[in-house]
């Protein structure tokens, strides 16, 4: 049982058990299988564009040519990917030993199940694959996803009905961002009423995948549920006023919410017969990818900051006293009912870095690195703002903006002056996109009440394997940077949450998350590696002071850009 200090000693995962974590991200579906000692038994993935080309996605999504900013993915593709991934995994992991499965998914996206789909889910036939059986299950064959930016009008309506953006943030965890599920549902109700009327249930991507696995509608978990603008962040219940402000008869379509560590159900007979899962295998509630990464990185102390560099770039940390702001998102911590996580999300992540690489570094990461090495920290005051996609933070439309900040060595913000320019030389463009993102992250993290400088940063996501990028991160934030031994923190977090949910179920009570991994951090898949120390080199502190000034200048320029171009 849990002791008074929250650590657990006598809880054990059964020796021969396995725990499966899945991550349905924007571009792929990934799996991590852990054994009871938290060692990795197998990993695998299905890449939507290349493995399932018949859905015609690009980066896992489709841009609607008929409506600017409308970005969708077909939910049937996610279901087909699940079949394919389990088929690939089966020869390498004994799925009958899986005691529990849980998952992670891109946040905010919404799936519209057609009338009668619940019955179809309950009757899945193991003799046929999922795709033909679920093809008719959707009122909308395309789900709006987090990249969508077509709901500005609905966002303003929801905010007005709820007493303003900041009040909505204080009540539900964030203002109405265009990707939030509530405004997305409102738009569906307004613009495609025939779809909304034919919908018996709305799932998030996370609860959609859990629903397929249990063969019936799974609850939305309270953590991912906080990304909807409908749930009260304090009580973790749907808010009547927010439901009303969103769409009629919505409560029955959303269903009940459940904690992230709860059991969603037993795995459906379809998976037992087709993939040889045990019929006792538990499906633990799925949650969002960022909350799962928080779990996978075992982030627990205020001052620990995670930066994930992926399709979206995100910054997140744990807090017990969340401060609502217009910029961040507050979610309940998926593995600790007493605390919250604060998240900042940037839409222009890896795809925009790739675009700059293609323009200025001959489409090569080696060349990109060489150009980074050729340029000095602070980039001679060159600040770039690169929005290949309509950005969330700051809310700005597509466009590139470049400035040269002069008098950086004066040490005073008042003395800094900026000059707008059309282009930099290629090496400066490359440094400007990397430095610019971290300057922005640092400035906004501070504004959201996350401790700056952090005690440490844990870097994750594709670009975190680049030591030059991590060095810049350490210099700008003024702290050491660690990397996780595993690059896929979201599916790892989901596997750990599967083990956590299994233990909570066995104890019939919440048990501290640390009881899953206590005493094993250094020996398992969870160990962290110091990638870049901070403060060892002469000049680190002076450089940090200059970056501090540049952060302030950047926020000032962002504000001016919002006044000029923001909608």
Q: Which residues bind ligand XUL (CB under 6 A)?
A: 25-26, 106-108, 146, 179, 227, 288-290, 312, 314, 329, 343, 345
Query: Residue 69 has which token pair?
Result: 């900013």
Considering the complex, what minimum distance in angstroms separates the CB of residue 362 from ligand XUL? 29
Considering the complex, what minimum distance in angstroms separates the CB of residue 370 from ligand XUL? 30
Per DSSP bridges, beta strands 456-460 and 481-484 are parallel
Considering the complex, what minimum distance in angstroms separates the CB of residue 103 from ligand XUL? 13
Toward ligand XUL, which CB reaches closer, 289 or 429? 289
Toward ligand XUL, which CB reaches closer, 222 or 429? 222
Considering the complex, what minimum distance in angstroms separates the CB of residue 308 from ligand XUL? 8
Toward ligand XUL, which CB reaches closer, 71 or 188? 71
Toward ligand XUL, which CB reaches closer, 8 or 228? 228
Reported as type and span, the H/E element at residue 201 is strand 199-204
Toward ligand XUL, which CB reaches closer, 312 or 548? 312
Considering the complex, what minimum distance in angstroms separates the CB of residue 249 from ligand XUL? 26
Residues 6+ apart with CB under 8 A from 30: 22, 23, 43, 44, 45, 46, 85, 488, 490, 491
Toward ligand XUL, which CB reaches closer, 71 or 254? 71
Strands (E), 25-97: 28-35, 40-47, 62-63, 71-73
Toward ligand XUL, which CB reaches closer, 179 or 500? 179
Three-class SS of residue 422? coil
Considering the complex, what minimum distance in angstroms separates the CB of residue 444 from ligand XUL? 14
Toward ligand XUL, which CB reaches closer, 107 or 489? 107
Residues β-bridged to residue 30: 23, 45
Considering the complex, what minimum distance in angstroms separates the CB of residue 41 from ligand XUL? 25
Reported as type and span, the H/E element at residue 560 is helix 540-565
Considering the complex, what minimum distance in angstroms separates the CB of residue 455 from ligand XUL? 23
Cis, peptide link before residue 426, omega less than 30° from 0: no
Smallest CA-to-CA distance from 19 within 95, 79, 85, 86 is with 95
Strands (E), 214-353: 220-221, 257-258, 263-266, 282-284, 287-288, 304-309, 313-319, 329-332, 340-346
Q: Is 349 exposed, middle or buried (0-12, 13-18, 19+ CB in 10 A)?
A: buried
Alpha carbons 564 and 422: distance in angstroms, whole number: 17
Toward ligand XUL, which CB reaches closer, 214 or 315? 315
Considering the complex, what minimum distance in angstroms separates the CB of residue 309 from ligand XUL? 11
Residues β-bridged to residue 221: 258
Output 119-125 pairs: Cβ under 8 A, ≥24 positions apart. Answer: 121/211, 121/212, 121/215, 121/216, 121/217, 121/268, 122/215, 122/216, 124/215, 124/268, 124/269, 124/270, 125/270
Strands (E), 212-324: 220-221, 257-258, 263-266, 282-284, 287-288, 304-309, 313-319
Residue nearest to ligand XUL (CB): 106
């Amino acid at each position: 049982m849990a002791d008074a200090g929250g650590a657990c000693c006598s809880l054990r995962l059964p020796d021969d058990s396995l725990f499966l974590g899945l991550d349905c991200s924007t571009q792929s579906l990934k799996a991590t299988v852990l054994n009871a000692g938290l060692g990795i038994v197998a990993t695998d993935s299905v890449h939507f564009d290349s493995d399932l080309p018949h859905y015609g996605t690009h980066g896992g999504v489709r841009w609607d040519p008929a409506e600017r900013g409308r970005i969708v993915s077909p939910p049937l593709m996610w279901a087909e990917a699940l079949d394919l991934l389990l088929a690939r995994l089966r020869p390498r992991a004994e799925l009958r030993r899986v005691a529990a499965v849980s998952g992670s998914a891109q946040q905010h996206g919404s799936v519209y199940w057609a009338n009668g789909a619940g019955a179809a889910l309950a009757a899945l036939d193991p003799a046929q694959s999922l795709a033909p059986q679920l093809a008719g299950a959707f009122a909308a064959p395309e789900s709006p996803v987090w990249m969508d930016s077509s709901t500005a009008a609905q966002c303003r309506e929801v905010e007005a009905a709820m007493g303003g953006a900041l009040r909505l943030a204080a009540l539900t965890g964030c203002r109405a961002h265009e990707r939030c599920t509530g405004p997305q549902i409102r738009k569906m109700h307004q613009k495609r009423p025939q779809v909304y009327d034919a919908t018996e249930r709305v799932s998030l991507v996370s609860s959609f995948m859990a629903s397929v696995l249990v063969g019936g509608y799974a609850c939305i978990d309270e953590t991912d549920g906080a990304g909807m603008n409908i749930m009260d962040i304090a009580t973790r219940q749907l808010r009547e006023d927010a439901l009303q402000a969103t769409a009629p008869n919505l409560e029955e379509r959303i269903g009940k919410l459940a904690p992230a560590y709860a059991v969603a159900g037993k795995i459906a007979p379809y998976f037992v017969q087709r993939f040889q899962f045990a019929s006792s295998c538990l499906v633990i509630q799925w949650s969002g990818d960022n909350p799962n990464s928080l779990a996978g990185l075992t982030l627990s102390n205020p001052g620990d900051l995670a930066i994930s560099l992926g399709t979206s770039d995100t910054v997140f940390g744990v807090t017990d006293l969340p401060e609502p702001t217009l910029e961040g998102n507050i979610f309940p911590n998926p593995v600790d009912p007493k605390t919250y996580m604060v998240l900042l999300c940037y839409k222009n992540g890896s795809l925009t870095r790739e675009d700059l690489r293609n323009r200025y570094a001959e489409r090569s990461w080696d060349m990109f690195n060489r150009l980074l090495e050729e340029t000095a920290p602070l980039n001679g005051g060159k600040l770039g703002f690169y929005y290949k996609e309509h950005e969330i933070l700051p809310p700005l439309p597509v466009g590139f903006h470049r400035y040269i900040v002069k008098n950086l060595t004066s040490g005073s913000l008042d003395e800094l002056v900026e000059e707008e320019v059309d282009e930099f030389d290629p090496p400066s463009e490359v440094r400007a996109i990397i430095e610019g993102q971290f300057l922005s992250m640092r400035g906004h993290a501070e504004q959201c009440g996350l401790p700056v400088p952090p005690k440490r940063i844990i870097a994750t996501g594709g670009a975190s394997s680049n030591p030059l990028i991590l060095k810049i991160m350490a210099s700008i934030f003024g702290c050491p940077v660690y990397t996780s031994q595993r690059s896929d923190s979201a599916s790892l977090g989901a596997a750990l949450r599967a083990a956590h949910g299994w233990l909570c179920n066995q104890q019939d009570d919440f048990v501290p998350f640390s009881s899953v991994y206590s005493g094993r951090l250094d020996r398992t898949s969870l160990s962290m590696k110091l990638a870049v120390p901070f403060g060892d080199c002469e000049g680190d502190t002076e450089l940090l002071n200059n970056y501090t000034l540049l952060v302030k200048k950047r926020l000032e320029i962002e504000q001016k850009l919002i006044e000029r171009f923001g909608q």
